[in-house]
Amino acid sequence: VVSHCMTITLILMSTLVCQSKLLNDPLYRELLSLPIASDLHIDPESIAEASVDFGLIVREIPAVVLRPSHPEDIAVLVAFANSKSSIPFTISARGCGHSVRGQAMARDGVVVDMTSLGNKTAVSWSQSLGHYADVGGQQLWINVLEETLKHGVTPVSWTDYLYLTVGGTLSNAGISGETFRYGPQISNVYEMDVITGTGHFFSCSPHKNPELFYSVLGGLGQFGIITRARIALGQAPKRAMWVRMLYSDFSAFTTDQERLISLHGRDRDEALDYVEGQLFMRRNSDSWISFFSLSDRPRLMSLLTEHELLYCIEVAKFYDERTRSTVDKDLKTILKDLSHIPEFLFQKDVGYVDFLNRVRAEELTLRELGLWNVPHPWLNLFVPKSRIADFNTGVFKNIVLRKNITTGPVLIYPMNNDKWDDRMSAVIPDEDVFYTVGFLLSSGFKDWQEFDLQNKEVLLFCEDNGIKVKQYLPNYSSEREWMQHFGPKWRAFQESKARFDPKMLLSPGQRIFNQN
């Protein structure tokens, strides 16, 4: 008991010392003169929360956290950083901090906790746009879904996980199994309100301030803070037929995936709504087994013993009252000539929300097991279709299987280039079809470096073999690497930075313009 009390006393003392240091922080004292003083936070919990992210690999301590009550509070802060502050400081909007490499952090600067702006979703209709929603940049996609469903409508392009903010995913792209058909989330935005790095508010769209509009979408938070986005909506289905099919042959797997995503321009009844895929290995079975019933698991595991590596195509077809009677027939027609292993097709009929929110159930299980708040040394790549077979041999077989350390899902699915808009900042391979490969690794606190070494080996293999991959949710530390990443877009990216955030204040955690 004595030693327990001493430990608590020591923690409290160090917290108080830390807080008194922060109280005397010159930046904090200067910011107190602003009309946002009551929204500034330096208590240890606020600072600690803003110093970490989902990755639990990078830690950068900000001086202050701003919890704005209105978007104008953010503008006050950014304008002050631009012109009046005697102490230079950077600013990072933070959605949920679901980045994995410190992208939403601001060392010694100010982290703006966007979620304090609360829920704001307004659904409207116009002749030219049909249904659309105006949502706050701070809004979680799960809340957007809940609000729009009240009107019988829904966003059409998603991420696998819905507890991400609109501003956070629009700063990257926002991809999932719907992307082949509707494009990434950035392709489904009509207009935005943005506070630029000079502290000015602008509305932007393809017709109004188009340079800002296209720069911000996929712009890694470099040009402005999104406070509102107008999102495209479609009629909401009620349920989803959710299917998984297994392959041992990579070529059959990719041929079928590519065929399925080629059905994107067709009538709703003839196309799928969602196409993804995964690698199944014994090592990462925890991440995929729960989909299958207890009675199916033994034959699945013995198939894995035979093949070591299996490929799984995952598709969904949504339906409502109108299409309830035909969905089975339509699905059968779409899947009829596929070459999956016979007898290894599994189908479930689930509610639309349960389908979209499927990762939440996994999150809750992992939280219970203490396996959610662990390091996540993720690597996400876009791989050109022409080299995906080489990637399979060189990476999946010769690196991932050989090392046998991979825990967590490994996603692989193709997308259509023509659903992306090249004027936006997001970067993709220059081929009609490209694959996203996501190593969504989770490690222990002591061995994440081992996973990172595997990631480095993957990147080196691609470089050595001329496979022109692009990182999604990119993580680089030198200007040379960023130039290479953006390729022909680098110049425009730099010019937009000079125009919209000339003092390079925003999103320093991306380490594009603020590398130290």
Contact call for residue 143 and ligand FAD (CB under 6 A):
no
Burial class (CB in 10 A: 0-12, 13-18, 19+), 404: exposed
Q: Measuring CA to CA, which residue among 422, 221, 284, 256 is closest to residue 344?
A: 256
Tell me which of 160, 178, 193, 501 is the catalytic residue.
160
Point out which span in 18-26, 38-46, 69-77, 88-96 binds ligand FAD (CB under 6 A).
88-96
Contact call for residue 103 and ligand FAD (CB under 6 A):
yes
Q: How far is the CB of 336 from ligand FAD (least distance, A)?
A: 29
Tell me which of 41, 98, 131, 340 is the catalytic residue.
98
Contact call for residue 428 and ligand FAD (CB under 6 A):
no
How close are the terminal C-alpha atoms of the chain, in Å? 45
Contact call for residue 454 and ligand FAD (CB under 6 A):
no
Q: How far is the CB of 79 from ligand FAD (least distance, A)?
A: 17
Q: How far is the CB of 138 from ligand FAD (least distance, A)?
A: 6
Contact call for residue 54 and ligand FAD (CB under 6 A):
yes
Alpha-carbon distance of 169 to 162, in angstroms, equals 10
Point out which span in 58-66, 171-179, 252-260, 390-398 binds ligand FAD (CB under 6 A).
171-179
Largest CA distance in the chain: 72
Point out which span in 153-161, 292-300, 392-400, 416-424 binds ligand FAD (CB under 6 A).
153-161
Contact call for residue 172 and ligand FAD (CB under 6 A):
yes
CA distances from 248 to 346, 430, 439 (A): 16, 29, 20
Contact call for residue 94 and ligand FAD (CB under 6 A):
yes
Alpha-carbon distance of 346 to 455, in angstroms, equals 32
Beta carbons of 112 and 505 less than 8 angstroms apart:
no
**Which residues ranging from 460 to 499 are in contact with ligand FAD (CB under 6 A)?**
473
Q: How far is the CB of 301 from ligand FAD (least distance, A)?
A: 26
363, two tokens: 């999150």
Supply φ then ψ for residue 129, to 5 degrees: -105, -15
Beta carbons of 255 and 339 less than 8 angstroms apart:
yes
The bridge status of strand 345-351 relative to strand 379-384 is: unpaired
352 residue type, one letter:
Y
202 residue type, one letter:
F
Burial class (CB in 10 A: 0-12, 13-18, 19+), 201: middle
Alpha-carbon distance of 173 to 171, in angstroms, equals 6
Q: Which is nearer to ligand FAD, 215 or 338 (CB)?
A: 215
Neighbours of 360 (CB within 10 A): 15
Number of residues that bind ligand FAD (CB under 6 A): 36
Q: Which is nearer to ligand FAD, 148 or 227 (CB)?
A: 227
Q: How far is the CB of 20 from ligand FAD (least distance, A)?
A: 29
Active site residue 276: yes
Contact call for residue 164 and ligand FAD (CB under 6 A):
yes
Strand partners, 165: 140
Residue in 81, 93, 312, 338 binding ligand FAD, rule: CB under 6 A: 93
Tell me which of 53, 147, 258, 276 is the catalytic residue.
276
Supply φ then ψ for residue 436, to 5 degrees: -100, 135
Point out which span in 99-107, 304-312, 313-321, 449-457 binds ligand FAD (CB under 6 A).
99-107
Contact call for residue 160 and ligand FAD (CB under 6 A):
yes
Q: Which is nearer to ligand FAD, 26 or 210 (CB)?
A: 210
Contact call for residue 137 and ligand FAD (CB under 6 A):
yes
Residue in 28, 80, 161, 435 binding ligand FAD, rule: CB under 6 A: 161
Burial class (CB in 10 A: 0-12, 13-18, 19+), 380: buried
Point out which span in 67-75, 218-226, 230-238, 284-292 binds ligand FAD (CB under 6 A).
218-226
Point out which span in 173-181, 316-324, 384-392, 457-465 binds ligand FAD (CB under 6 A).
173-181
H helix and E strand count, the chain:
18, 18
Residue in 225, 243, 260, 469 binding ligand FAD, rule: CB under 6 A: 225
Q: Measuring CA to CA, which residue among 104, 32, 35 is closest to residue 70?
A: 35
Contact call for residue 51 and ligand FAD (CB under 6 A):
no
Neighbours of 2 (CB within 10 A): 6
Neighbours of 251 (CB within 10 A): 12
Active site residue 249: no
**Which residues ranging from 345 to 364 are in contact with ligand FAD (CB under 6 A)?**
none
The bridge status of strand 345-351 relative to strand 239-247 is: antiparallel
Q: Catalytic residues, which ones?
A: 98, 160, 276
Q: Which spans of this chain sit near ligand FAD (rule: CB under 6 A)?
A: 53-54, 92-99, 103-104, 114, 137, 159-161, 164-165, 167-169, 171-176, 220-221, 225-226, 473, 507, 509-510
